[in-house]
Amino acid sequence: MRGAPNRSTPVLGQPPRGAWLGFWLLGLIGCSAVQAQTAPLPISAAAAPFHKKISGSVLSSGKKVSKKLKKPVVVRPTSVPMFAVPINVSVPPSTRKPHTKKSPPNTAPPTATSTPPRSAIAHTKTPSVVPQQTTRKSAPVKTAPVKTANTTVSGQTENLVVPVAPPASRGSGSRLPAVINRNPSGVLLSIAFQNNMIPAKTINENRGFSPRQVTLVSTSLQQAMAQARIFTASGFRILRRRALRNLGFVYSVFSTPKGMTSMEAKNRLQKQLPELKVDVNHRYRLQGASSSPRLYAAKVLGWQNEQTICRKQVRIGLIDTGVDTDHPALQKAHITRLTVIPAGYPLAPLDHGTGVAALMLGHSADGYYRGVLQLASMVAVSSFIKHPGQQIETTAEWLAQALDLLAGKQVRVINMSLGGDRDQLLERAIQAVHKQGIVVVAAAGNGGAGATPVYPAAYSGVIAVTAVDARLHIFRKANQGAYVEFAAPGVDVWSARAVKGGKYYSGTSFSAPFATAVVARILQGRVLSIQEVREQLRSRVRDLGAPGRDPVYGYGLIQFPPGCAS
């Protein structure tokens, strides 16, 4: 029909078909844009078309379809939808609130190069610049302790000194290093031990050395005084000092700092200052014991009765307990008695020293006591004490004093029927005696075949003597080792005891005096070096055990030279 409007052609002033839907969508987008400018938390455009299922309903482009409503209900987004989940939210730093649960990872590089380890911060100043990042609080990380570290902070370098970690077990001896100062020539000026340490485990120090004591050997009094000032400034306290003029050196005794044991002080000083002659004050014990035929010793030694009247006798030194010169066996003996025991100490019983002396110088009308050198002279130094309930013992300090006394009395040979651990003070004293040509004879020890070497017998130059019985069998408790040099009678040996009477003794303590007597006999009227004396002894031995020298009998059984020296 002409004039009828064409429904496919839009009429002026009338919106085309479907335009209402387009207008509605444009309005919706415009409202959203206006709302985004005023909303406190803006939402990205990507969040506009969202879908979420809620109790069977579906939201799509702002329309909500409800089961209870037949007609669709239009929800206009004048505010942020309560079901919307913001994506890629960008919040300015000034308005951001602290996040208490989880912070997004920060991949930006830190503004500072590094921070000190957690263990180091407690010992240093807080750096002025730290990384500006928030991280979740985590447990401290266990890191290996370090001694020093260089940390760069804001272009500056800080030297972080971190203490060494304390030892895992108490008393292990791993402590902070000492600060040692020396002058340009290398002379020790000071020692500073860092005492903020775990106390050492309490140990029994009464077995082999004096508790909380160390000894120091110095070449002169001036050096000893200078070293004493250094030690006292480091927490040590000087107890005593003595110049051994006959031996040519000075020794000092110090008490250790509080909480430091003798052995710990010795080990630390020797490790950090190896040039110092420092040691603990070792203890030494007698190497003999009483036991249950009489005078067999002279026979197995090849001793002849006429040797008792040899006129050219030497002077013998004895370091032992005191000697009872009132005993009938020793009343006619030429014995000078000295002591190194300070007043107030309980002296040891006289049995051991009396028995050893009587084996060399003893004589009695009834023939019960017959020493092998009855006309010799002796200087006996009392060096042992005995506390109630404890063993008879002495110290390296007193032994050094005794050796010094004997060196000043022109003795030719010294008998030491005693033994203990190796000690630097005693070793230095033995060396000084050897330089004067004095022979030292010592007991090899009564610890058994598997025992460690006993000193002074094991020192180089000392003649170590083991013990055999009347059948020339080795004493069952005798030490064995490469240091054993000779054998002599020392099992069930009859000798004097203190006050009166006598008894049988066993032990290397009572074999040593026979060897001392043989050495004295070799030295009668002659001047021989220690090596020459040793060669004289070897030339007359009676080989026992394996051929040649062995760790049980040494070179063999010593023998007296025939007759008297001219």
What's the mean pLDDT in 31-47? 48
Q: Which of the four pLDDT bands, split at 50, 70 and 90, describes residue 163?
A: very low
Across the strands, what pairs with 254? 214, 238
User: Is the pLDDT at 534 greater than 90, yes or no?
Assistant: yes
Check residue 105 and give its pLDDT: 54
Same structural domain for residues 186 and 323? Answer: no
Looking at 275, 309, 328, the residue that finishes a domain is 275
Same structural domain for residues 190 and 325? Answer: no
- For residues 441 and 154, the model is more confident at 441
Check residue 375 and give its pLDDT: 87
Q: Which helix (H) or strand (E) holds 434?
A: helix 424-435
Same structural domain for residues 407 and 471? Answer: yes
List pLDDT tens digits, range 275-293.
889 999 999 988 765 443 5
Q: Which of the four pLDDT bands, split at 50, 70 and 90, describes residue 364?
A: confident
Same structural domain for residues 295 and 421? Answer: yes
- For residues 10 and 549, the model is more confident at 549
Structure tokens, 288: 């003999």
Q: Which of the four pLDDT bands, split at 50, 70 and 90, describes residue 274?
A: confident
Asked, for residue 558, whether it belongs to a domain, the answer is no
- For residues 368 and 149, the model is more confident at 368
Instruction: Give the structural domain span for 248.
Output: 179-196+206-275
Same structural domain for residues 449 and 505? Answer: yes
Asked, for residue 390, whether it belongs to a domain, the answer is yes
User: Is the pLDDT at 419 greater than 50, yes or no?
Assistant: yes
Q: Which of the four pLDDT bands, split at 50, 70 and 90, describes residue 24?
A: low
Same structural domain for residues 260 and 365? Answer: no
Asked, for residue 364, whether it belongs to a domain, the answer is yes
Same structural domain for residues 419 and 484? Answer: yes
- For residues 274 and 407, the model is more confident at 407
**Contact by Cβ (8 Å): 402, 383:** yes
List pLDDT tens digits, range 85-132.
343 444 444 445 555 555 555 555 444 444 444 444 344 443 333 333
User: Is the pLDDT at 39 greater than 70, yes or no?
Assistant: no
- Which residue from 519, 539, 515 is spatially nearest to 528, judged by alpha carbons? 519
The C-alpha torsion from 109 through 115 and 119 to 122, rounded to 10°, is: -130
Check residue 363 and give its pLDDT: 87
Same structural domain for residues 248 and 328? Answer: no
Same structural domain for residues 472 and 327? Answer: yes
**Contact by Cβ (8 Å): 319, 378:** no
Asked, for residue 135, whether it belongs to a domain, the answer is no
What's the mean pLDDT in 437-446? 97
Looking at 223, 256, 275, the residue that finishes a domain is 275
What's the mean pLDDT in 346-366? 92
Asked, for residue 74, whether it belongs to a domain, the answer is no
Asked, for residue 530, whether it belongs to a domain, the answer is yes
Check residue 13 and give its pLDDT: 52
Same structural domain for residues 290 and 422? Answer: yes
Mean pLDDT score across all residues of the chain:
75
Same structural domain for residues 527 and 383? Answer: yes
Q: Which of the four pLDDT bands, split at 50, 70 and 90, describes residue 348?
A: very high
Check residue 351 and give its pLDDT: 94
- For residues 98 and 553, the model is more confident at 553
User: Is the pLDDT at 543 greater than 80, yes or no?
Assistant: yes
Total domains present in the chain: 2
List pLDDT tens digits, range 230-269.
898 889 999 999 999 999 999 999 999 988 999 999 988 8
List pLDDT tens digits, range 214-235.
999 999 999 999 999 989 888 9
Looking at 246, 275, 304, the residue that finishes a domain is 275
Same structural domain for residues 220 and 346? Answer: no
Q: How far lies 347's CA from each of 139, 258, 317, 343, 426, in Å?
A: 64, 30, 19, 9, 21
Check residue 46 and give its pLDDT: 44
CATH number of the domain encompassing residue 468: 3.40.50.200
CATH number of the domain encompassing residue 237: 3.30.70
Asked, for residue 299, whether it belongs to a domain, the answer is yes
Check residue 222 and give its pLDDT: 93
Asked, for residue 326, whether it belongs to a domain, the answer is yes
Across the strands, what pairs with 291? 504
- For residues 553 and 64, the model is more confident at 553
Structure tokens, 233: 């400034």
What's the mean pLDDT in 343-359? 95
